[in-house]
Amino acid sequence: MTAPAIHTDGASLPGSPPGREVAVRLIGTTKRYGALTAVDALDLEVQRGEFLALLGPSGCGKTTTLRMIGGFETPDSGAIEIDGVDVTRRPPDRRPVNTVFQSYALFPHMSVTDNVEYGLRVRGVDRAASKRAVEEVLALVGLQDVGGKRPRQLSGGMQQRVALARALVLKPTVLLLDEPLGSLDLKFRKQMQVELRRLHREVGGTFIHVTHDQEEAMTMADRICIMRSGRIMQMGSPTEIYDEPNSRYVAGFIGSTSFLEGTVSAVDGGMAVISVPGAGDLRARLGQPLAVGAAASFSVRPEQVVVGGAATGDGTSVTGRLVDLLPTGAASMARVAVGGAEVVAQVSRSFSAAIGDELVLGWDAVAARAFEGPKQ
């Protein structure tokens, strides 16, 4: 199964990957519910064949954005293009998209085969061609042996595969995934993350996936779009988002990080010195432009912190006291009180220290980041 070819003549928005055709474009798209602006003048491009995750907390606008792309919500202003065609006012059944919901929305009285075939019947597809298509897609999702069963006879993970098969059999230009793994337990959710990545590679279509789970987005997506208050905070590959966050918000939302609050005392060559009460002057690379005297946040991730040695005095180490040691399986997390805050360090399972012990924490200043401080 392959996605239909996409042809678009419009110029790409700034920041879009070069050399890729645009499957979905939102231009200044806004959606309001009374006094609440759910999506605020959003400019977004989704490239042909990519797996894009819309990531953010509840209320950030990600689901509303997906529903506007699918035609379930109409924007108050702006435009939506799919396959180079303006579909802003088109209903869902006149858009080359299909949606997989968290609730599956399967017909309980129908067999797996009939559920998957339903959309083809509505479209009037020849019965022989429909049968071949259903067999193909059930094999693709690994359900070729359960076509005669009813949804209630299947596990949650298998029901989700049926929902995916029902969407994929129609060969949409864009597949919309509205938190489809949210109702699965952890084991099945991780299995389905792998399955969705495999399906994306084999189908070759464009997937847009809404999730509030950062690990899920990091595991599955080619690019991540982090949203907040109806706006895009940052877009990039999982590696770019994790290694090069552009704000304190993004750094804190993706992965785990420690923040120490202070004031910028010096800026030089892309590096900043942050004066932190109780910790001293700490060096870090600028995560965004900062001026001397500005309130700032020093950020360092647990895996970048090294425990041991002596304090250097050059802004790349601090001294604190162990507050707790938390095993996480392959490693442990040491929580260390530094000034009025905490720094978390990833340590080996064999690491040994007593609560209250004094520890020296060090890092590479280039790995640490300096951002604007939190608004009071």
**Spatial separation of the C-alpha atoms in residues 8 and 25, rounded to whole Å:** 10
Average pLDDT rounded to a whole number, residues 258-281: 95
Q: Given pLDDT bands bounded at 50, 70 and 90, which one contains residue 376?
A: very low
Burial of 124 from C-beta contacts in 10 A (0-12 / 13-18 / 19+): exposed
Strand partners, 258: 300
pLDDT beyond 90 at 243: yes
**Spatial separation of the C-alpha atoms in residues 256 and 300, rounded to whole Å:** 9
pTM for the whole structure: 0.86
Judged by average pLDDT, the poorest of 112-116, 190-194, 265-269, 271-275 is 190-194
Question: What's the pLDDT score for residue 8?
Answer: 33
The number of CA neighbours under 13 Å toward the Cβ of 74 is 5
Average pLDDT rounded to a whole number, residues 245-268: 95
- pLDDT tens, residue by residue, 185-242: 777 778 778 888 888 888 888 999 999 889 889 999 999 999 999 999 999 999 999 9
Q: Given pLDDT bands bounded at 50, 70 and 90, which one contains residue 322?
A: very high
Assess contact for 348 and 303: CB atoms under 8 A: no
pLDDT beyond 50 at 114: yes
Q: Which of 165, 201, 204, 213 is nearest to 23 (CA)?
A: 204
Q: Given pLDDT bands bounded at 50, 70 and 90, which one contains residue 18?
A: low
Question: What's the pLDDT score for residue 123?
Answer: 87
- 347-370 burial, b for 16+ CB within 10 Å, e for fewer? beeeeeeeeeeebbbbbebebbbb
Assess contact for 349 and 372: CB atoms under 8 A: no
Question: What's the pLDDT score for residue 166?
Answer: 87
Judged by average pLDDT, the poorest of 5-19, 261-275, 300-314 is 5-19
Q: What are phi and psi of 257, to 5 degrees?
A: -150, 160
More confident residue, 159 or 221: 221
Domains and CATH numbers, the chain: 22-96+172-243 (3.40.50.300), 256-372 (2.40.50.100)
Task: Please state, rounded to an integer, the average pLDDT across all residues of the chain.
Answer: 88
Q: Which of 172, 168, 173, 157 is nearest to 116 (CA)?
A: 168
Q: 155: how many CB neighbours lie within 10 A of its CB?
A: 10
Q: 84: how many CB neighbours lie within 10 A of its CB?
A: 14
Question: What's the pLDDT score for residue 345?
Answer: 96
Place of tokens 């109409």: 74
Largest CA distance in the chain: 76
User: For the chain, what is the radius of gyration of the CA atoms?
Assistant: 24
pLDDT beyond 90 at 168: no
- pLDDT tens, residue by residue, 121-150: 888 888 899 889 898 888 888 888 888 899
**Spatial separation of the C-alpha atoms in residues 64 and 165, rounded to whole Å:** 24
pLDDT beyond 50 at 10: no
Of the ranges 26-35, 325-334, 347-356, the best mean pLDDT one: 26-35
Share of the chain above pLDDT 70, in %: 94
Judged by average pLDDT, the poorest of 8-12, 16-20, 84-88, 309-313 is 8-12
H-type helices in the chain, by residue range? 62-70, 112-122, 127-140, 156-168, 186-203, 214-220, 238-243, 248-253
Answer positive or negative: Cα dihedral of 320, 325, 328, 329: positive
Q: What are phi and psi of 238, to 5 degrees?
A: -55, -40
